[in-house]
Amino acid sequence: MRLRPVSSLALTLSLVAAATASSPVLADVVPQRERPAPVHAVGGCELFPADNPWNRRIDGRPRWKHSAAIVARQAAGHDLHLDLGTTEEYYGIPVNVVDADQPLLPLRFGVDGEDYRDESDRGPVFVPADAAIEGASTRDPDPGTGDRHVITLRRGTCDLVELYAAERVRDASGRVVAWRAASAARWDLSSNRLRPAGWTSADAAGLPILPGLLSWEEAASGRITHALRFTLPSARHAYTWPARHCGPAGNTARDLPAYGMRFRLRSSFPARRYTGVARTIVVAMKRYGLVYADQGSSMFVTGTADPRWADALDQFRERPLDGRALEVVKPWRRIVTC
């Protein structure tokens, strides 16, 4: 379940106009211990530059001083849950890939009382009328509840649009004439530019979703070279780089994680307990870690649904990975309180 802070600062992004008008912030370069690994690509587009925070190893960074308290409060005692699915179409977050000449559709804002247009990129958007929505299935392509993310990458231009609480808008004949969402964010995959400070995105933290998703093809290659997106139930009213948006007002305890915090598996955790794709995921959690991106069920790691995940899912059921094996990495920058 997605929880958003109730605040007059609740905004979104503006897909073409507002992003251009806003003053972008560049993700600064952090020295690397080794040459960057190949960057994961989707639709022929690398998911951000090699020095982007999502693509940086954190196994050599120091542990955060509040790590033990943060892990104990919400992660310990909860098993890693790969929210992927095999035969269940509605599990995971689908990714839509379109060509550079994809027709544009208008974008409207406001769904179920949520409206973050002030922090959103405007339309029109290159999201196709038949785009897959998170939580949908062949029998029910238009879910009425849930986060309903829509992730769309455009080939050639290598840009990305992500919608939260997305709905198709139809005319009297039933033809799709527009999209409606609570928030919208556009990303240039060739750039490290961040959202304006204080802005949300399709994820509460103000971060892109796609670079943190698990995909079968990448995991089956034996190497995952980016951090993974995950959720915990409660966020602190704060964020740390590269996140741009705070958790709910009133959540000030230091044992709550700020959005953008990086977690990792302890180096002593025995990856040899797992084989194949499951081991690849464990190694990635040690090297690249997990990014706290949104409030939700504890220890949920998201990816795309695929029947080939069955063996990895079975291994984590048979040999659960308890959240107490995690630790919090010292942030690259100070924590911003709101």
Other residues' Cβ atoms within 10 Å of the Cβ of residue 254: 14
- What is the residue-level pLDDT of the chain in tens, covering all 338 positions? 444 443 333 333 333 333 333 334 444 433 444 566 899 999 999 999 999 999 999 999 999 999 999 999 999 999 999 998 776 666 889 999 999 999 999 999 999 999 999 999 999 999 999 999 999 988 999 999 999 999 999 999 999 999 999 999 999 999 999 999 999 999 999 999 999 999 999 999 999 999 999 999 999 999 999 999 999 999 999 999 999 999 999 999 999 999 999 999 999 999 999 999 999 999 999 999 999 999 999 999 999 888 899 999 999 999 999 999 999 999 999 999 99
**Would residue 292 count as lying in a domain?**
yes
For residue 318, give the DSSP letter: H
Q: What is the pLDDT of residue 305?
A: 85
**Would residue 181 count as lying in a domain?**
yes
**Would residue 5 count as lying in a domain?**
no
Q: What is the pLDDT of residue 84?
A: 84
Q: What is the pLDDT of residue 13?
A: 32
Cα angle for residues 285, 218, 201 (degrees, 5° grid): 70
**Would residue 2 count as lying in a domain?**
no
Q: Is the dihedral of CA 121, 46, 132, 229 positive or negative?
A: negative
**Would residue 318 count as lying in a domain?**
yes
**Would residue 1 count as lying in a domain?**
no
Q: What is the pLDDT of residue 32?
A: 44
Counting the structural domains of the chain, the total is 1
Q: What is the pLDDT of residue 36?
A: 61
E strands, 146-253, where?
Answer: 150-154, 159-164, 167-170, 176-181, 183-188, 193-194, 228-232, 238-240
**Would residue 8 count as lying in a domain?**
no
Helix (H) or strand (E) holding 42: strand 41-42
- Residue ranges making up the domain that contains 294: 17-337
Q: What is the pLDDT of residue 237?
A: 98
Query: How many angstroms from the chain centroid is the CA of residue 167?
Result: 20
**Would residue 246 count as lying in a domain?**
yes
Q: What is the pLDDT of residue 250?
A: 94
Helices (H), 268-309: 276-287
Provide the residue type at 93 as one letter.
Answer: I
